[in-house]
Amino acid sequence: MDYYGIGFSNIRLPNDAESYIYKYNTRINQFPEEVLLHEFLHSLERNSKEYGYSVPVLHDYEKYGYKNESLIGQKRWYKDYMNKSIKATEGKIGLPEEIYTLKPAKSNNFQNAYKLEEFKEPENLIEEIKQILEQLGQKF
């Protein structure tokens, strides 16, 4: 997941097509977008700390009176976390507004563990023919 070059999160999905994550079930995955949002907020949480901002820990929602609700999950917590409107003794806390305009503080955040070529498009006729043959099961 990438947010306009500001940051990214990796989410691993199992290869097992029978896994429950590929089937929507209100008892198991009530707010499926929550996983993507949650992982992206971890990126912004990390970036905020690297820039020296003090932000609440994303998993501390119960500490501030929030709970995991039916159907909407932690939507209220995420909304307040992103808008810096969590009520705390020191005032309103959450992600700083500036974090949405800053890139990750460390350059190694832009390096992949391995080069991704899953969606690489052919750049010339030879690569295109090679790709077609590989899809037919003939490796080169």
37-60 pLDDT, tens digit each: 888 898 899 889 999 999 999 999
Share above pLDDT 90 across residues of the chain, in percent, rounded to a whole number: 34
| Residue 121 in domain | no
| Residue 47 in domain | yes
| Residue 74 in domain | yes
| Residue 96 in domain | yes
Q: How far is 70 from 30, CA to CA, in rounded Å?
A: 7
Task: Compute the C-alpha angle 23/35/96, nearest 5°.
Answer: 160
| Residue 124 in domain | no
| Residue 87 in domain | yes
Containing domain of residue 31, as a range?
20-105
State the total domains in the chain: 1
| Residue 81 in domain | yes
47-95 pLDDT, tens digit each: 899 999 999 999 999 999 999 887 777 889 999 999 999 999 999 999 9
